[in-house]
Structure 1
Amino acid sequence: MKHKYWLSFCLTAAAQPTLADCGPDEGTCEIASGAYHIELPEADNPPLVVFLHGYGGSGSGTMNNRSMVEPLLARGYAVMAPEGLERPDRGGIQSWNFYPGFGERDETAFLSEAVDDAAERFGIDGERVVLGGFSAGGFMVNYLACDAPETFSAYVPVSGGFWRPHPESCAGPIRMFHTHGWIDNVVPLEGRLLGGGRFHQGDIFAGLEIWREANGCVDTKPSGFSTTGQFMRRNWMGCAEGSALEFALFPGGHTVPSGWADMMLDWYEGLPGG
């Protein structure tokens, strides 16, 4: 399938002077609170997957991950890759403001503004938006879902959860599909200490317990188990109406694994209203 970039839809600087930096060279859309990249399928009013890069990554780098982007486009989804905050204390490395001291930007407001901008510019279906992210981006997904679960229609973090101390509770219900590598040594399933002990990544399974509570699940035991290729999956059903929670473990390390995009979309499209 051939894909078309946002360029064919981009408004002129005269019509939208605040978006004048949406130029053809970099394919970057500037909004008041930041910037994003977007690629569109050959479909009208497409749903959208917003994917947040990891620590030290970039939105443009995310779009270069064609093994993830191409399957999403082929399924009729637009793909957006926002740019994280530059951290002057780390030499301009980009990341996300999910932890005190990591930045001042309201990331929920920024991502909401980016989606609204894409809906106006390119006809994105603003009601069918999935928020995903890798590593630090996955942490951001969890914290945003915890504080404002109604912002997006589903949450699909990869290799990122919460930091200690874990949130005491999260708002809910949510629809979440969490994916993690068995031998991930950057964000281990049990978490790890960073910064000489100043920071402590949380336990992924403790995070799943927080999400079961947010979804009002009556039992900790999974409702079902399945496998999809290399992925070992478990889910919790019989929880609050409109909620969904699933965990997929794969044998690899700290990466967005091959096959993730199609597996995630199969899950999302199987949800009510997906």
Structure 2
Amino acid sequence: MKGARGVVGVALALIAGLWGDAARAGCDGLAEPCQISTGSYHISLPDDAQKPVPVVMFLHGYGGSGAGTMKNRPMVEALLARGYAVIAPDATRRRNGNRSWVFYPGWEGRDEAAFLRDVMADAGDRFGVSLQNTVLAGFSAGAFMVNYLACEAPDDFAAYAPVSGGFWRPQPERCVAPIRLFHTHGWSDRTVPLEGRYLGDKQFQQGDIYAGLELWRQTNGCDGHAPDRSWQDGEFLRRRWDCGVGGDIQFTLFSGGHTLPKGWADQMLNWFEAG
């Protein structure tokens, strides 16, 4: 889609970076991020980690950065406390200077799937992180990237955990293979509404989150639409579909808006480790 990159800043003004600059980031304690030929990433390792170290890779939102991800200390420290390395890659800069991911089919730019594979390979060589016990998570624009990568390259990570993002329209007609998916979304999100919305003078359209879940049920080979289990956990409303060989889907709604809910890191890891 020629010219799409030039309007990403307008089209994704909805997806502001969540956390700003980092208080603690870099290449495992160093001031600067880890550099590879295709980009850069930040990493923090748990104390006394047993190698290979399991990984949560978290993709920032539009206008954010890997350093900004690392500033979300409640999330990062919760993941580290569970023994996971936290990897926060940097998206490339758009023409307006803001960073975002090249997730939409037809956009020109970096091959993000190849970049994330490069990041994992480099982190494995440098820091001894696991290449199998891995979760790819992301917020907003990062969550859109998570969904598209899960659809196109499901074997790149063991599980996928998008927050506040799904597909854009037209959404993919099919995805490659069953996955493990932990999707979290705010009931009152107006930036990425559950029903989707138009962007950039209707040049782009966010997809309906429920339509995206239907695609994932089809991909995982679910026999029907009704969940296998529905329950309430405090403020969280949860649905789960246990279908697909090695696949499952959990959808969590919370009462807030366009944000990462408190306690998300432990909830996500409880699900991941129980699978």
Taking structure 2 as the reference length, the TM-score comes to 0.88
What is the deviation of 1:99?
A: 1.2
Alpha-carbon distance in structure 2 between the residues aligned to 1:70 and 1:105: 30
Alpha-carbon distance in structure 2 between the residues aligned to 1:4 and 1:138: 21
**What are structure 1's unaligned runs of at least 5 residues?**
9-23
Q: Indicate whether 1:63 and 2:70 are aligned.
A: yes
Of 204, 226, 242, the match for 2:246: 242
* Residue number among 144, 153, 156 corresponding to 1:148 in the alignment: 153
Rounded to whole Å, the distance in 2 between the matches of 1:92 and 1:101 is 21
Equivalent position of 1:95 in the other structure = 100
5+ residue gaps, structure 2, are: 1-23
Q: Quick one: distance in 2 between partners of 1:5 and 1:83?
A: 11
Q: Which moved more, 1:42-51 or 1:194-203?
A: 42-51
- Provide, for residues 199-225 of structure 1, a one-character-per-residue CA deviation record: whole Å limited to 9, x for no partner: 000000000000000000011100001
Identity, % of aligned positions? 58
Q: Aligned-pair distance for 1:228? A: 2.7
Contact 1:85/1:103 (8 A) holds in 2? no
DSSP 3-state at the match of 1:49: strand
Find the aligned partners of 1:140 and 1:120 in 2 and give their Cα distance: 25
What SS class does the counterpart of residue 132 from structure 2 fall into? coil
Q: Tell me the CA shift for residue 143 of structure 1.
A: 0.3
CA distance in 2, matches of 1:66, 1:182: 24
Which one of 104, 124, 139 corresponds to residue 134 of structure 1?
139
Q: TM-score, normalised by structure 1?
A: 0.88
Distance between the aligned counterparts of 1:219 and 1:101, measured in 2? Answer: 32
Whether 1:264 and 2:271 are equivalent positions in the alignment is no
Return the match for 1:159 from 150, 159, 164: 164
Q: Give SS of 1:132's match.
A: strand
- 1:42-81 equivalent positions in 2, closer than 5 A: 42=47, 43-45=49-51, 46-81=53-88
The amino acid of 2:83's aligned partner reads: G
Deviation of 1:226 after TM superposition, in Å, equals 2.2
Q: Following the alignment from structure 2 to structure 1, what is the Cα–Cα distance between the partners of residues 57 and 45?
A: 12
Check 1:159–1:7 CA distance in 2 against 1; reply closer, same or farther (3 A cut).
Answer: closer
8 Å contact from structure 1 (residues 6, 40) kept in 2? no
Please tell me whether residue 116 in structure 1 is matched to residue 111 in structure 2.
no
Structure 2 match to 1:203:
208
Paired residues in the alignment total 250
Change (3 A) 1:54 1:5: closer
Note if 1:254 corresponds to 2:258.
Answer: yes
